[in-house]
Amino acid sequence: MALSRHAVVTGAGRGIGAAIARALARQGHRVTLMGRTAPALESLQADLPGEGHGVALLDVTDASSVAQAFARAREALGPVSILVNNAGQAESAPFAKTDAALWQRMLAVNLTGTYLCTQAALPDLLGAGWGRIVNVASTAGLRGYAYVTAYTAAKHGVVGLTRALALELAKKGVTVNAVCPGYTETDLLRQSIEGIVAKTGRSEAQARAELAAGNPQGRLVQPEEVADAVAWLCREEAAAITGQAISVSGGEVM
């Protein structure tokens, strides 16, 4: 049976993050759910299989908040062995209307947040000589998408960080990988669909079909499919997999 380790999942309150937390709990790990909304995190905590799970509120863009959250998690459940950087946000705008504030928001949440949380967890992983870091990026980290230049740039940064850090840690028992979902059935996607409807006048069904058409399988990815890929990368047997950016997109990116 796999060892029970302490796993931290950021942005765990819903969607892909919640699915990842469930998958890791099913593997027998103790999971600290991190995010900004206590009710959602506490509800998920009560629903997770197994025992010994925790909740820590944080803002991934704030270094002090991150440090405090990881200190609480460590005090409650011990050193961190698995870190899943899932917290993220997507905003769309034509490049000409992408102001500095939007640009900084996308970098802060998607890229700097990944950096800060990794900095906070890494001493535990190095101290144990074993660890797993999985960054939830996006197919936007592997290709370009119009009207989301700031988000795309940030996710490319996450993939670059993944590859560089994987090389630094390759001989230290710590793997670093990225999982890159295509359009996935989440609240975030539903917000994107609402934006398309509002801006273009298309129906919700038309907007959904347009997004699904980019997937060669002709469908939206499910959160559980992303979670399964993350859980696999966190297994003992995945020790030889590092520095990879794995597309979970039905073949959209090959």
Give residues with Cβ within 8 angstroms of 38, minimum separation 6: 55, 57
- With beta carbons less than 8 A apart as the criterion, state whether 36 and 59 touch: yes
Distances (CA, A) of 8 to 82, 157, 167: 6, 21, 22
- With beta carbons less than 8 A apart as the criterion, state whether 179 and 134 touch: yes
- Helices and strands: H and E segment counts in the chain: 9, 7
Q: Is the dihedral of CA 58, 162, 130, 84 positive or negative?
A: positive
Give residue for tokens 């996935």: 184
Give residue for tokens 């998408």: 145
Residues recognised as catalytic: 151
Q: CA–CA separation, 96 vs 145, rounded Å?
A: 15
Strand 131-136 to 174-181 pairing: parallel
- Residues linked to residue 134 through DSSP beta bridges, in sequence order: 84, 177
Q: How many CA atoms lie within 13 A of 151 on its CB side?
A: 17
